[in-house]
Each structure stands twice: as C-alpha cells, then as structure tokens.
Structure 1
C-alpha cells in the first residue's frame, strides 16, 4: 500500500469546506428553531392584563410589557397610550415620539414597575 493511502482521514480533508451559503443556511435554520408560538391566555389572565393596563392608562404609570411578534417575545417599558376595543389593540408610549401598537391576543404579560 502506498504512503498516500496510509494517511487515514487526511485523504478526505480536501472535501471539508463550508461555503458562505452553507453557513447562512445553518444560521437561518438555527434562528427558525428559536421561534416560539404566540401566547394563549385564558379569560382570567386577560382580565388581569386589562386591570394593569387600565391603571397605567388612567394614572400614566410605567409598566413592563412582554408581547409576541414574528415568532419572538419582545419586552418594553412603556405607558399605555390608548386601548382600542374595536380593533382589539393597545398602544404603548415608550418615549416622547415612540408609540408601539400591539394586538391584545399577542400580549404575554403586563406588570407594574
């Protein structure tokens, strides 16, 4: 047997390569696997969220909000700006010019600070 074939695994070393497209596909798959389903809240949990939201709306109290968007949970500290019961959305004011609108069904939690 020649010395070339006795190198064990080194014979196949040239086939070990990662194209940028491969790396991008692996990263995209890993990000896709991190996605989570939207929250499923029952009536009691929705009522508790509503109580805290209405306190924030009435007294301009800052609150912690966690909501679902595009497969991920996002957090913010804001004050409730408006509750629209017809479209089932809540608007939060993060800063002087930043308003975030979230559907009620996508809210995970609202907590007092």
Structure 2
C-alpha cells in the first residue's frame, strides 16, 4: 500500500474550519430539537392525573410531576397542595419555601413515588 493511502486525509486536514455562523446554526438546530409540543391528554389520562393528585393532596405524599412550559418539559418532585378545577390549575409545594402553580393543560404526567 502506498504511503499516500496510509496517512488518511492529512492532505486536507489543515483546511478544516468551522465558521461562527456554522456554530450558531448548529446551536440553533440543537435548541429547536429540544422543544417539545404542548401535551394533549385525553379524558382517561386526565382522570388518572386527578386521582394521583387527589391522593397526594389527601395523604401529603410526594409525586413526580412532568409539565410543559414554553416548549420545554420540566420535572419536579413535590406534594400537591391545592387543586382548583374552576381555574384549571394545581398548586404544588417542592420545599418549604418553593411553591409552583401549574395549569391543567401544561401537565404531562403525575406519578406516585
């Protein structure tokens, strides 16, 4: 085998470059791929979420919650503090000082721990 074939593509190795515009385009593409669509739950899934949330509310047990906000999915472990069907929202407490209100249409899942 000749020496040219053994050395690989070293002839063009020094001319490789990445322009700042290329890096910016790659970062933008990666950011777009992280976005997820808003959840669309059917009636049965909403009922199951309600059962788990009610159990956490009455027994003060922590649950694992996945919710959608501004194109991203967020996960947290909290106890359900209040469920307001009229306002279509649930209030959860992550810690003593940290409270979060999540709309029903943002919820993806609520699971018992």
Structure 2 length as normaliser, TM-score? 0.79
For each residue in 1:17-57, what CA deviation from the matched residue of structure 2 results, as whole angstroms up to 9, or x when unmatched?
43434423320221112211111111111011001101111
Correspondence for 2:38: 38
Aligned length: 102
Q: Aligned to 1:39, what secondary structure does the other structure show?
A: coil
Please list every run of 5 or more consecutive structure 2 residues that lacks an aligned counterpart in the other structure.
1-10
CA-based RMSD of the aligned residues comes to 1.9
Please list every run of 5 or more consecutive structure 1 residues that lacks an aligned counterpart in the other structure.
1-8
| Separation in 2, partners of 1:21, 1:92 | 43
| Separation in 1, partners of 2:20, 2:83 | 46
| Separation in 1, partners of 2:20, 2:101 | 37
Correspondence for 1:50: 50
